[in-house]
Amino acid sequence: MGKYLALVKNFFSSAIIKQADIFGNILINIIQIWAVVLIWQTVYSPRLSFGGFTLTDTILYYVVILLITFATYTNTADYISQNIKMGTLSQWLLRPTSILLTELARSLGEQLYKLLILVPIYIIVFLTVYFLRIKTNISILGIVLGGFFMIVGFLLNCLFEYTLSILAFWMDEVWSIKHFKEVVTDLLGGKRAPLAFFPVIIQNINKFLPFQFIYFIPAEYMLGKHTVRNFVGDMSLLLLWLMFFIAVSKILYDQGIRKYGAFGN
């Protein structure tokens, strides 16, 4: 465990060097979210609510989604698939560490720095909502549960990308699959719009898929739309998906490593 904590610390230190980029990325995501909020403001003009969301709920949803986007982001698929493709995975194989756990440590180290900047901002945001007495269901318990699901959502996202990255043992490029996964996750994960806005049939299918745990479920807890009553059901399904990705990635990895020649290209 100590070696992985040391890795987290090292990658955290590397992330600090790129602080200008982190602020740039925050600004880029704010612009994207703002554009979406503007369109919903226009749409809401004649109506009070959609799918149980008022305009205030929708704006707060996107504000929270911004935090979750940073918290659950990972580039595991790019990182590992490049190492496999270039043949540099060999260095990892010689280390007394698991590739998966090393990659989790790397992603976590990089995320920690972003969260150090964002969490204080969001504390201010939530306090502002409280002191302005904006009508919401936000509570401290909801924020804690949302934070918990955000962390586990990050883990799920890493595992998902790790599973995809292993396809690099067989494919020249996995970036297309990774982009496809991103597009689907953004849509069915609730980043583009709350899942409650989708047609009921899509909502019902999506309830069993893993995408919602990356953005939507953490946001629902933070906004108080999911409560402790939903916890067991959500957590059970999430654990099933975690075990699924761990199992599939292990099977694929064991098959792939036999094929690996460290040639690079």
Q: Which residues bind another protein (CB under 8 A)?
A: 20-21, 24-25, 27-28, 31-32, 34-35, 38-40, 42-43, 47, 50-51, 172-173, 175-176, 179-180, 183-184, 186-187, 192-193, 197-199
Nearest residue (CB) to another protein, 41 versus 88: 41
Q: Give the residue with the Cβ less far from another protein, 188 or 252.
A: 188
* Smallest gap from residue 133 Cβ to another protein (A): 26
Taking the complex as a whole, the smallest distance from the CB of residue 37 to another protein amounts, in Å, to 11
CA–chain centroid gap for 140, Å, is 21
Give 212's DSSP letter.
G
Q: Output Rg (C-alpha) for the chain, integer angstroms.
A: 20
Q: Which is nearer to another protein, 99 or 178 (CB)?
A: 178
State in angstroms the smallest separation of the CB of 198 from another protein: 6
In whole angstroms, what is the distance from residue 8 CA to residue 219 CA? 26
Closest to another protein by CB, 38 or 119: 38
Sign of torsion over alpha carbons 123, 71, 99, 92: negative
The nearer residue to another protein, 158 or 193, going by C-beta atoms, is 193
Do residues 97 and 8 touch, judged by C-beta distance below 8 A? no
Q: Could you tell me the smallest distance in angstroms from the CB atom of residue 44 to another protein?
A: 9
* Shortest separation between residue 93's beta carbon and another protein, angstroms: 28
